[in-house]
Structure 1
């Protein structure tokens, strides 16, 4: 029942985006509040109480601003695109699974299991391709492939975080990119080269640092040459690369010609691609099982995400224009006119402090994206967007409360602090410095 409620909410939101009927917007907001309350009973204790506190605080602040029910409705409706993205994007895993891509990846990684540097490159490279489409599901899938290999804890923590965090910088299928570009009014076409460039650079830095680390901490494995991949597996891997680039390219083309919101385009693609796959292959029977699994397992498991995303989005919206937010904005503006580097470091430290105590990045980065004016700061909107996304990526890896850190910590058998700060602190510090230098050059 909850699945139909959430999916119905997503469908009505997409209809409302095109028809723009006010009464339908209130219905969608009402459904989202029911979904929020329903998720509260099923969510884990920490996200449940954190979500309730953030949602309550956001509603109280918005009410005190004098906007009333309309302001609260606007705040919730503003975050709904991300909830729809979160719910619908997993549909893309269906054609990937049925096409045999995952088996080819599994064979590749098993072939590299005795060569740590190549295996690390294989894991991070695979996550670079899969994470933009499958989100955290990509980490879960790779860990299933690698369970028998029993990677050292440090290697798991490094490879999963480095590979996954690259996608946060550029993928339109991620809440980070969609939210920041939406709030700063940046087209994905204008941003993609900068985001992709920094993402690839971070991948290179991560692999170089691992090579140096592995020299000092050699992994005791017999040096066995990798067996060559069969042609069928090579073809599958090439098709996977082509699939990802076609998917992203399609989003760019649609945005260029329609000027629709990228979040809406991504949601539509998440529905159309599996439908197109079923039509072209005429293999609807095989799709029935994964579609039912999506309905019965994937969607109902979004309790924690719905609690955190919706409440954090409401709080970020409510904070806009408050005396506290204006004070932070003035302080950051003053720093920006003194030194961009000081401004960037202050933004990073502010977000890191907030997210390290459990507040979701959507609240911290979303509030900054809505509050800060690039023109007043003396920077371009692309530079500000890239800085906020770099900050989002770093804070996701470091915060022991982020979904990524929690999942990787469980797989690696380490604490959240060990996974983020100890295993990846040097990498994230170098990435921050390189990123700030590049962004300051862009201006």
Structure 2
């Protein structure tokens, strides 16, 4: 990397963090001057990000910005509409900037070694391996989002079962998808709750039940696949002594860290009425400091902040910057041009007011498009921004759950999703193989399970 590239990356990191701090600060201050500063910083970071973004994110980014610009220019939208459209999804970018800070206590709190010890002691079969890796991906993914992929890989890579690339990639990608259907720290859930107007307290119980169901689907599939292979039969061995890093107290500590965080987000959101996204972002900045102070490791926060976070995590936000700002711009341009009016009309023609048909059409259509390589953020944003739940006789919570399923399963089968791309790079396989070949059947059974669950809940009158 040239000196100029390094300098521009450093400037982009500084401006990205400054943009996030200014955004969170202005939630309380509400200053027009700071609002203008935020917009200018966002434009600069966008330009610098477009220079660095690559692969599918670049393609999706160029497509969304180009289509949005054409629509807004054609409809002669005023500058205020452009500004509102560009600003609409900024809170997602801010969340992506702040959430990686939650990973610092995991990296530097002594928890990684303890988790490695669990593998050494207890994991002897494919099904046990899948269960633990998928659970870790879901559990840790709540805190660090897509950074969970390399983190979980580092934890489980020493297991002999990690040589099974299909098992490893399926466990990580599917495990992560089970938390993206409910966790408030993930961008997809923040997006669907925002778009549908669903109440978080009403959404959460059904969403976490859906996540558990997805986990069960993946685990049952692994058991059946294990029974079909000679390698998967009769390989349960005796437990071996734990490695030096195995400490039950550290596992309990990590569990407490996550539980307190999730409960804190829910309570603060309910008590204050502040957006869940804002609360997640603020707690991501404050909570690691408090936790590391409690376990007497506060100095490592500043070491990690100046090192890995500033040099690796912040520069990597370029993809999220382009994808989410572009998605917000596209949703606004579709609404402003009234192009989105055709989507409800098409749905009404296809499903009428039948909730089951609505669910099948949205899930089937969205996941088919995801499998073709379109990131779920595009379809979820368009559907969430144009479809009104009341028009189809369903509640906002029901629609939010359907869109959350589109996002969750879509990230497991879309070759362009960060989940699939990160996993495929680790196992050395193509994104298409990881997404369609290895997760296609999982997506099919997951849709069946979720449709049955949603239909039963609605029939009982609780959803």
**TM-score, length-normalised on structure 2?**
0.90
Alpha-carbon spacing, 1:284–1:338, altered in 2? closer, same or farther (3 Å): closer
* Distance in 2, Cα, partners of 1:228 & 1:68: 68
2:303 matched to 1:289? yes
Task: Tell me: CA distance 1:318–1:228, structure 2 relative to 1, closer, same or farther (3 Å).
Answer: farther
Query: 1:331: how far off?
Result: 1.6
1:173 to 2:185 alignment:
yes
CA contact (8 A) 1:313 1:363 kept: no
Structure 2 Cα separation of the partners of residues 53 and 426 of structure 1: 30
- Range with greater deviation from structure 2 (371-380 or 417-426): 417-426
Are residue 270 (structure 1) and residue 253 (structure 2) matched?
no
Alignment of 1:315-354 (within 5 A): 315-354=330-369
2:256 aligns with 242
CA contact (8 A) 2:137 2:149 kept: yes
Correspondence for 1:225: 238
Q: Offset of 1:285 from its aligned partner?
A: 2.6
Pairing 1:141–2:141 present: no
Deviations 1:215-235 (A, max 9, x none): 002436954222365896222
Q: CA RMSD in A?
A: 2.1
Partner of 2:269: 255
Distance 2:108 2:56 in 1: 36
* 1:391 counterpart = 2:401: no
Residue 431 (structure 2) aligns with: 416
Measured after TM superposition, the shift of residue 3 of structure 1 is 1.3
* Most deviating of 258-267 and 233-242: 233-242
Is the Cα contact below 8 Å between 2:126 and 2:222 reproduced in 1?
no
Number of equivalenced pairs: 443
SS of residue matched to 2:124: coil
Report the more deviating stretch, 421-430 or 368-377: 421-430
Judging changes above 3 Å, is the alpha-carbon distance between structure 1 residues 262 and 103 closer, same or farther for their aligned structure 2 residues? same
**Could you say what secondary structure the match of 1:219 adopts?**
coil
* Counterpart in the other structure of 2:211: 199
1:368 corresponds to which residue?
Answer: 383
Asked if the contact 1:398/1:405 (under 8 Å) is kept, the reply is yes
Q: Give yes or no for contact 2:133–2:156 (8 Å, CA) kept in 1.
A: no
Distance 1:336 1:30, change over 3 A: farther
How far the C-alpha of 1:291 sits from its partner, in A, is 0.9
1:438 and 2:453 are equivalent in the alignment: yes
Find the aligned partners of 2:149 and 2:273 in 1 and give their Cα distance.
32
Change (3 A) 1:122 1:191: same
Q: Which whole-Å deviations, capped at 9, do the CAs of 1:259-293 have from their partners, x for residues lacking one?
A: 00000000001001122134434533322221112
Distance 1:198 1:174 in 2: 15
Residue 69 of structure 2 corresponds to 59
Is contact 1:383–1:442 with CA below 8 Å preserved after alignment? no
Distance 1:280 1:235 in 2: 15
Change (3 A) 1:377 1:235: same
Counterpart among 11, 17, 42 of residue 27 in structure 2:
17
Secondary structure, in 3 states, of the residue corresponding to 2:163?
coil
In the superposition, relative to structure 1, how do residues 33 and 56 fare at CA in structure 2: closer, same or farther (>3 Å)?
farther
Cα displacement (A) at 1:442: 3.2
- CA change 1:407–1:45 in 2 (3 A) is closer
CA contact (8 A) 2:112 2:155 kept: no
Q: Show CA shifts across 1:353-407 (max 9, x none).
A: 4434443322210121111111111100110000001011111111111111111
Contact kept, 8 Å, 2:409 with 2:443, in 1: the verdict is: yes
Instruction: Report the CA distance shift for 1:29/1:193 in structure 2 as closer, same or farther (over 3 A).
Output: same
Give unmatched runs, 5+ long, in structure 1: none
Distance 2:297 2:141 in 1: 26
Question: 1:278 and 1:415, CA in 2 relative to 1: closer, same or farther beyond 3 A?
Answer: closer
- CA–CA distance in structure 2, aligned partners of residues 82 and 132 of structure 1: 15
Query: Contact between 2:376 and 2:406, CA under 8 Å: does it hold in 1?
Result: no
| Residue among 72, 92, 95 paired with 1:85 | 95
Once the two structures are TM-superposed, the CA of residue 333 in structure 1 deviates from its matched residue by: 2.9
Larger mean CA deviation between 163-172 and 298-307 belongs to 298-307
Query: What is the TM-score when the length of structure 1 is the normalising length?
Result: 0.94
Q: Give, in angstroms, the shift of residue 86 of structure 1.
A: 0.7
Q: Which residue of 2 aligns with 1:129?
A: 139
**Are the counterparts in 1 of residues 374 and 414 from structure 2 also a CA contact under 8 Å?**
no
Q: Which residue of 2 aligns with 1:182?
A: 194
